[in-house]
């Protein structure tokens, strides 16, 4: 179970994202200096208790032109070897000290737990409460796997999504965990055996729901 510390971070996650978001291929707002606002999200537990995993929804802009993005992040107490290009930044945590914050789609711990969520073997947790399932997150699970840790094969950014290709031990072919980077109300993500939907807040305070991730069969070997 992850322990959420209600303390300070310098710089904050949103400050780091304001510099990082415009460097992404899927960034849809077009602003050089965005001011992202936390609009919701959820967490996943690392069974080893070492890595923080958060899926944060952020909005930019106002009114009908507001854009919502989904940013999966992992928080580590030491650098993740080989993931230098996935580093969003470092921050000083009021309790835990220096934290290395990564684009979670490149983190094998997040890949394993997202696969577990999409196959019904993990439960989405509340973004800011300890040991509290987030009932606003709904999962239409794919057939469960063996429960083994998955191998992260590759990560590919698309125009509005990121594909995380993984292979489970003993599986005949890899599968793709598609993370929806640009959030849209509704669930039109194409066909897939597994789907995660969640809610996020719009700038006017209303709440909408849509797809966050989908599990797709992968034809590449």
List, for residues 102-129, the tens digit of each pLDDT value.
Answer: 999 999 999 999 999 999 999 999 998 8
Quote the percentage of the chain above a pLDDT of 70: 88
Q: What is the mean pLDDT of the chain?
A: 88
Its pTM stands at 0.91
Strand-strand pairing, 194-201 and 138-140:
antiparallel
Of the two residues 66 and 86, the one the predictor is more confident about is 86
User: Three-state SS for 81?
Assistant: coil
Across 86-109, average pLDDT: 91
Q: Which residue has the higher pLDDT, 130 or 100?
A: 100
Tokens 């580093």 identify what position? 87
93 pLDDT band (50/70/90 cuts)?
confident
Stronger pLDDT, 2 or 104, i.e. the higher one:
104
Side-chain half-sphere exposure of 25, counting CA atoms within 13 A: 10
CB-based contacts of 61, cutoff 8 Å, min separation 6: 29, 67, 203
For every residue of 123-148, DSSP letters joined together read: --B-SSSTT-B-TT-EEEPPPP---P
Percent of the chain with pLDDT over 90: 70
Out of 116-120, 140-144, 160-164, 217-221, pick the least confident.
217-221
Cα(68)–Cα(184) distance, integer angstroms: 7
Within the chain, where are the H helices?
Answer: 13-20, 108-118
Q: Which of 4-18, 87-101, 121-135 has the highest mean pLDDT?
A: 121-135
Which of 19-33, 94-108, 156-170, 196-210 is the least confident region? 19-33
d(CA 126, CA 197): 14
- The per-residue pLDDT for range 60-84, each reduced to its tens digit, is 988 777 899 999 999 999 999 999 9
pLDDT at residue 95 is higher than 70: no
Residues facing 98 on adjacent strands? 92
Q: How far is CA 151 from the centre of its chain?
A: 17
Question: What is the C-alpha separation between 128 and 52, in angstroms, rounded?
Answer: 12
pLDDT of residue 10: 83
Closest CA to 21 of 56, 65, 64: 56
Whole-number Cα distances in Å, 150 to 90, 110, 175, 178? 27, 10, 10, 15
What is the band of 221 on the pLDDT scale with cuts at 50, 70, 90? Answer: very low
């Amino acid at each position: 179970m992850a322990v959420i510390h209600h303390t300070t971070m310098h710089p904050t996650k949103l400050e780091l994202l304001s510099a990082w978001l415009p460097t992404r291929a899927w960034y849809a707002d077009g602003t050089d200096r965005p001011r992202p606002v936390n609009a919701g999200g959820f967490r996943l537990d690392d069974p080893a208790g070492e890595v923080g995993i958060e899926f944060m929804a952020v909005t930019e802009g106002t009114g009908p032109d507001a854009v919502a993005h989904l940013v999966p992040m992992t928080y580590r107490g030491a650098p993740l070897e080989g993931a230098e290009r996935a580093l969003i930044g470092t921050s000083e945590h009021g309790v835990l000290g220096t934290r290395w914050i990564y684009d979670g789609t490149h983190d094998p711990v997040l890949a394993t737990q997202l696969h577990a969520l999409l196959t019904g073997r993990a439960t989405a947790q509340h973004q800011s409460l300890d040991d509290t399932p987030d009932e606003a997150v709904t999962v239409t699970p794919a057939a469960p796997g063996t429960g083994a840790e998955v191998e992260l094969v590759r990560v590919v950014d698309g125009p509005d999504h990121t594909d995380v290709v993984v292979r489970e031990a003993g599986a005949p072919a890899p599968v793709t965990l598609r993370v929806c980077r640009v959030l849209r109300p509704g669930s039109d993500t194409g066909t897939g055996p597994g789907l995660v939907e969640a809610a996020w807040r719009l700038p006017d305070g209303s709440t909408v729901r849509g797809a966050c991730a989908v599990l797709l069969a992968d034809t590449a070997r």
